Amino acid sequence: MAVFGAARTKGSFLRARYERLTARRGPIKALVAVEHSITTAIRHMLDDNVPHHELGDSYFTQRDPERAARRAVSRLNELGHRVGLDPMDAAG
């Protein structure tokens, strides 16, 4: 099945989606969700006659950086570290 290969391809959106969903739903449901993402993408490509556009593995981080930061802080807190965030200035 194509979904197994897609879930193992390094640097792909589908692998990032699989890893995020596996943590919450388990591996079988995550595979089904990735399979649904593949079929949805194929349907859009065929209906709109457009080529596939890979979003990349950093798509979720770019889409919502605050959520990614909260997830990283909560994971470190679970590991027993006290972590706080101090935002950097826009100038650097």
Q: Is residue 43 over pLDDT 90?
A: yes
Give the chain's length. Answer: 92
**83 pLDDT exceeds 80?**
yes
Cβ–Cβ < 8 Å for 34, 7? yes
pLDDT at 91 over 60: no
Give yes or no for residue 12 having a pLDDT over 70.
yes
Domain boundaries, the chain: 2-57, 65-92
pLDDT at 8: 85
Query: What local confidence, expressed as pLDDT, does residue 7 receive?
Result: 84
Task: Give the Cβ contact number of residue 21 at 10 Å.
Answer: 19
pLDDT digits (tens, 9 = 90+) for 64-80: 999 888 888 988 999 99
The answer, yes or no, to whether residue 92 has pLDDT greater than 80, is no
Q: What is the pLDDT of residue 85?
A: 79
Angstrom distance (rounded) from CA 59 to CA 13: 7
